Chain A
């Protein structure tokens, strides 16, 4: 008997056979269990055959079985040998490492739980933030070659950051005709449309698009066909496409919907197609479009949006230059073109700069948080490695290679990382839903997804593996040191610990404290800024103000409009619980556009101001919202035609264009002749101040009488006596009916809520997340500090015992331990203050009336961190004080 030495398999080493062998191996691994069962059965069969053979030679059945068993020898060994053929030694060892590490982790559940949770929370946060960032900043539109799809815009040259402004059809036509950088251009116009013949049907989001819309997106319709050039021609039979969601909800996803009639805004059309589910107007505000109508660019009027597909190789910058030149040429006779610039921008580039920055900031923040988490877990692992140094030393002495032990520790960290990653994914998923609920769905930022995509999954996997490697390395390196030899010789109690390990761990704690400091300072600054924002007066009193938009379904002729609005105002003002009513809008955000011409004593002067706030209000408006008129008077009686040429400007406008701000009596023209007429300033209103909002759009405010408006919707502001009126729209509709008006409530806006959304939602979002991060960071560093102190007490128990025996009183021992901890904290705080000072400058853009170097915030952070640190060292300190000198001195 003896092992046969084989040499087969060595001489057949060509690549092809090697690959074949690998394939067979893999197949075997995949079917490992069934393979194992097969082998067992085979060996059993062999044994039985042997027994039968022996029986034939005259042995009794029992004796034969026993003899056969003896003859077979060590079956387990045989099986292992056979398995070894398939499983290479490394695989075997990795599996063994894994099993061993798993057993080790199960033995210390507290350590495992803390480490896994720490990682999970941070990986979860990272995943959630990464998903948001990916979605908002990186994800291209869901169309083929989406990077070539751009939105065309003409912001004022003075403020190119502005986006989504309506375009003049002439310019769009010129672009479509002349541009060479643009492969295809589609003009779109979004508006609400009414489906069905009945005028009480609700409005749905609709859009008119030029025929090549789906071709530009390179996305075929889900059903039927897209528009053709013929559909947009004059006299063509009217057609429409419907959106995927609308098809599912209104037609139950019927396959025969193509060809059915649909009435849109009173015109009967034929449905020719259903768009794919992800089709929307790229980069536009409108999230969902239910009904698509074709239109011809040549006959288009009003203002448009434009989306273009750039030719391959053309960058948005190149296109912008060309389109700008075309625009200047096409609209050379307007002042408007002189002060504007054309831009072609990708969807990603449209995201508000502030939002972009806040998301980037959050990303950096969670990255740092992850570093803290890793440091903490590394610290835990180091401590664990130290506590296990005897075990490791024994294994080392028994012949385990240094590499083998290092690999083992690395395996342990990787298992922790994988567990943490898995749990983190779960936490991240929940967190994402929380963030999605917190985030205002801005008009440009599409609603956040509440699921991960594959990129995020990859990110998490990479993150957890990298983390495992990162914090696996430290302990693994240290396990190789000469400490192992010492550990064998000396007992656990007396060893003073390798000083390099201790320094490393103290360093980690200092770093943690410093980073936490940065977070705590950041959160405190944001909190102070938020409080300042909340306290700021906006210039009028929004308490219990409600803005009601009423859509009068049978439009009165213009002449009657004033009378109808008078009735409306009277009716709503008489509702129970309503303290007062005025025509107008809160919060005021009507966009006024076009150049302003101001008549000064020296003559007319055109001013470069494209965008400003222009609202149409009734004469009682200022009194109702409590916005003081600083000079002059309000409009003449609502509805009188005399008021149509009157305008009220705010203090900012008055100061800018009239000496000493004495604007009353001055004249002003909005837009260009012949459409624009001179208006007379009759009053100067106080500024409506929106904290944190700058630029003409927010600060230059003007008001015109409602009689000058031509909107289909009438807005009424009500001041309620109580803050709750849940059935407001119902009572308004009843009142309308009673007054003989047929109309319905299109929108009810509570001023306080709306202002909250505009002013506070993003700051609150940042504050909550940052506060959360700060809390996590603080908790982690407290945990780290606790670990270091507790460990140090265990380590120094003999020394402490000796001190106690020599007469040190408990106070002295406590001072010793706390002093150690305070040294680390002071160092950490010191570094943290420097870091926080630098980091706070990044935050400056988000702070309102709060200096990034705000001493109060820094002081608060230092106090908070120190108290938490003292708290964390309290338990170890108590243990140190209670050390019995006799126990400690007896040692082991």
Chain B
């Protein structure tokens, strides 16, 4: 698992929301998908993933329901809510702004 690093601090929830905006998914699937989409750069730490999922539920950004997986196993599937989508938008804008700003600073020679 060389070359993997942990997720940029403060972005986990945004990434989860982004993942869930594509399709509802269970916890394991979210971690896999993030890893896959980041081309194996980010490894999701389950120790932070589940508290983050709870937090998002608490704030009403995602909902959860028990469903059966393709392998006939019970799992909790998370789906994004409308306010979750809105939140995703604002987070994305903020993120892009910060990235640009960091970029500007770092390019200064």
Q: Count the B residues whose beta carbon is within 8 Å of the partner chain — how many? A: 34
**Which of A38-46, A471-479, A642-650 forms part of the interface with chain B?**
A38-46
* Chain A neighbourhood of B91, CB < 8 A: 8
Which of A1, A17, A84: most chain B Cβ within 10 A?
Answer: A1
Contact B60 A82 (CB under 8 A): no
B-side contacts of A39, CB under 8 Å: 50
Residues 1-37 of chain B, each 1 if its beta carbon lies under 8 Å from chain A, else 0: 0000011011111000000000000111001000000
Closest to B61 in A: A8
Contact of B51 among A2, A5, A82 (CB under 8 A): A82
A-chain residues with CB within 8 Å of residue B73 when the two chains form the complex:
45, 48
In this complex, the member of B6, B56, B59, B61 whose beta carbon has the largest number of chain A beta carbons within 10 angstroms is B59
Give B30's nearest chain A residue, CB to CB.
A46
Say yes or no: is B87 at the interface (Cβ < 8 Å to chain A). yes
**Chain A 81-97 per-residue mask, 1 if CB under 8 angstroms from chain B, else 0:** 11111100000000000
Contact with A along B33-77 (1 / 0, CB 8 A): 000000000000111101111111111110000100000011110
Contact B58 A78 (CB under 8 A): no
On chain A, the residues within 8 Å of B61 by CB distance are 8
Q: Within the complex, what minimum Cβ distance (angstroms) separates A19 from chain B?
A: 11
A110 to B59, CA, bound (A): 48
A4-B10, A42-B75, A86-B54 as given contacts; A49 in contact with B28, CB under 8 Å: yes
CB contacts (< 8 Å) of A24 on chain B: these are: 57-58, 60
Cβ-defined partner of A81 (8 Å) among B6, B51, B76:
B51
- Is there an interface contact between A9 and B52, defined as CB atoms closer than 8 Å? no
List of A residues within 8 angstroms of B54 by Cβ: 82-83, 85-86
Q: In whole angstroms, how far apart are the Cα atoms of A376 and B51 in the complex?
A: 48
Residue A30 is within 8 A (CB to CB) of chain B in the complex: no
Whether A72 and B46, one on each chain, are in contact in the complex, defined by CB atoms closer than 8 angstroms, is yes
Expressed in whole angstroms, the Cα–Cα distance for A74 and B87 within the complex equals 31
Given known pairs A4-B7, A41-B74, A50-B28, the reply for A21 and B60 (CB within 8 Å) is yes
Please measure, in the bound complex, the distance between the C-alpha atom of A46 and the C-alpha atom of B58, giving whole angstroms. 21
A73 contact set on B, CB distance < 8 A: 45-47
Chain A residue nearest to B53 in the complex (CB): A82
> Does B13 lie within 8 Å of A6, measured CB to CB?
yes
Of the residues A1, A28, A42, contact of B27 by C-beta under 8 Å: A42
Residues on B with beta carbons closer than 8 Å to the beta carbon of A50: 28
- Cβ-closest chain A residue relative to B71: A52
A384 CA to B75 CA, complexed, in Å: 51
A48 to B87, CA, bound (A): 32
Size bracket of the A interface = 35 or more
Bound-state CA distance A715–B67 (Å) is: 88
Question: Which chain B residue shows the least CB distance to A28?
Answer: B58
Q: How far does the Cβ of B84 sit from chain A's closest Cβ, in whole Å?
A: 10
A264 to chain B, nearest CB (A): 70
Q: Is A724 an interface residue (CB 8 A)?
A: no
CB-CB under 8 A for A12 and B59, given A2-B9, A42-B75: yes
Question: Contacts of A46 on B, CB cut-off 8 Å?
Answer: 27-28, 31, 46
Given contacts A25-B58, A42-B27, A50-B28, contact A4 B48 (CB under 8 A): yes
Q: Which residues of A contact B7 (CB under 8 A)?
A: 4
| Contact assessment for B59 and A21 in the assembled complex, using a CB-CB cutoff below 8 Å | yes
Q: Is B58 touching A21 in the complex (CB atoms < 8 A)? A: yes
Please encode chain A, from 1 to 37, with 1 for each CB lying within 8 Å of some chain B CB and 0 for all others.
1111111110010000100110011001000000000
Q: Report whether B55 and A9 are in contact in the complex, using a CB–CB cutoff of 8 Å.
A: yes
CA distance A77 to B7 in the complex (A): 20
Q: Indicate if the CB atoms of A81 and B28 lie closer than 8 Å.
A: no
- Tell me the minimal C-beta distance from A292 to chain B in angstroms: 61
What A residues does B66 contact at CB under 8 A? 38
Q: How far apart are B66's CB and chain A's nearest CB, in angstroms?
A: 8
Question: Is there an interface contact between A17 and B60, defined as CB atoms closer than 8 Å?
Answer: yes
Task: Report whether A84 and B51 are in contact in the complex, using a CB–CB cutoff of 8 Å.
Answer: yes
- A43 with B9: in contact, given A9-B58, A85-B55 (CB under 8 Å)? no
Most buried by A among B6, B28, B57: B28
Q: Which B residues, 74 to 96, have Cβ-Cβ distances below 8 Å to chain A?
A: 74-76, 87, 91
Q: Is the CB of A45 within 8 A of B75?
A: yes
Complex alpha-carbon distance, A49 and B66, angstroms: 16
B56→A8 contact, CB < 8 A: yes
Q: How far is the CB of A881 from chain B (nearest CB, A)?
A: 64
Which residue on B lies nearest to A83, using beta carbons?
Answer: B54
Contact B75 A4 (CB under 8 A): no
Q: Give every chain B residue within 8 A of A84 (Cβ-Cβ).
A: 51
Chain A nearest CB from B50 CB (Å) reads 5
Q: Decide: A9 near B27, CB < 8 A? Known: A3-B48, A4-B7, A4-B52.
A: no
On chain A, the residues within 8 Å of B12 by CB distance are: 4, 6
Assess the A8–B87 pair: CB atoms within 8 A: yes
| Residues of B with C-beta under 8 A to A21 | 58-60
Output the least CB separation between B65 and chain A (Å).
Answer: 11
Inter-chain CA distance A513–B93, complex, in Å, is: 75
Contacts of B87 in A (CB 8 A): 8, 12
Which residues of B lie under 8 Å from residue A7 when comparing CB positions?
Answer: 10
**CB neighbors of B among A61-114 (8 A):** 72-74, 77-79, 81-86
Residue ID in chain B nearest A2 by CB atoms: B6
- Chain B residues with CB under 8 A of A3: 48
CA A86 to CA B46, docked complex, whole Å: 18
Give complex CA distance A9, B91 in Å. 12
Q: Which residue of B lies closest to A50 (CB)?
A: B28
Distance of B4 from chain A, by nearest CB (Å): 10
A2 vs B42: C-alpha distance when bound (angstroms):
13
User: Would you call B50 and A38 a contact (CB within 8 A)?
Assistant: no
Counting chain A CB atoms within 10 Å of each CB, which of B7, B51, B59, B75 scores highest? B51
CA distance A83 to B7 in the complex (A): 22
The CA of A86 and the CA of B51, in the complex, are separated in Å by: 10
Contact partners of B45 in chain A: CB under 8 A: 1-2, 73
**In this complex, which of B7, B50, B52, B66 has the most chain A Cβ atoms within 10 angstroms of its Cβ?**
B50
Residue of A21, A25, A49 most packed against chain B (CB within 10 A): A49
Cα A6 to Cα B49 in complex, Å, equals 12
Whether the Cβ atoms of A6 and B60 lie closer than 8 Å is no
Other-chain residue from A5, A79, A83 in contact with B9 (beta carbon distance below 8 A): A5
Kindly state the separation between the CA atoms of A35 and B6 in the bound complex, as whole angstroms: 28
Do residues B50 and A78 form an inter-chain contact, with CB atoms below 8 A? yes
Q: Is the CB of B26 within 8 A of A81?
A: no
B26 A1 Cβ-Cβ under 8 A: no
Of all chain A residues, which has the CB nearest B91? A8
| Chain B residues within 8 Å of A85, by CB | 51, 54-55, 58
Closest A residue, CB atoms, query B57: A24
Note all chain B residues with C-beta closer than 8 A to A41. 74, 76
Contact (Cβ within 8 A) B50 A43: yes
By beta carbon, the residue of chain B nearest A42 is: B76
Closest to A46 in B: B28
Question: Shortest CB–CB separation between residue B76 and chain A, in angstroms?
Answer: 5
Q: In whole angstroms, what is the CA distance A42 to B57 when docked? A: 15
| Complex-state Cα separation, A38 to B78, whole angstroms | 13
Q: Please, which residues of chain A bring their CB within 8 A of the CB of B47?
A: 1, 72-74, 77-78, 81
Minimum CB–CB distance for A33 against chain B, Å: 16
**Distance of A48 Cα from B75 Cα, bound (Å):** 11
Compute how far the CA of A664 lies from the CA of B36 in the bound complex, rounded to whole angstroms.
124
- Smallest CB–CB gap between A506 and chain B, Å? 53
Q: Nearest chain B CB to A16's CB is how many angstroms away?
A: 10
B52 to chain A, nearest CB (A): 7
- Some 16 contacts from A to B, beta carbons below 8 A apart, are A1-B47, A2-B9, A4-B7, A4-B10, A8-B91, A9-B59, A25-B58, A41-B76, A45-B74, A48-B73, A72-B47, A74-B47, A77-B47, A78-B47, A82-B53, A85-B55
Closest 3 CB pairs of A and B: A85-B54, A81-B51, A49-B28
* A contacts, CB < 8 Å to B: 1-9, 12, 17, 20-21, 24-25, 28, 38-39, 41-43, 45-46, 48-50, 72-74, 77-79, 81-86
Instruction: Known pairs A5-B10, A81-B47; list 7 more (Cβ under 8 Å).
Output: A4-B10, A9-B58, A9-B59, A24-B57, A38-B66, A78-B46, A82-B50
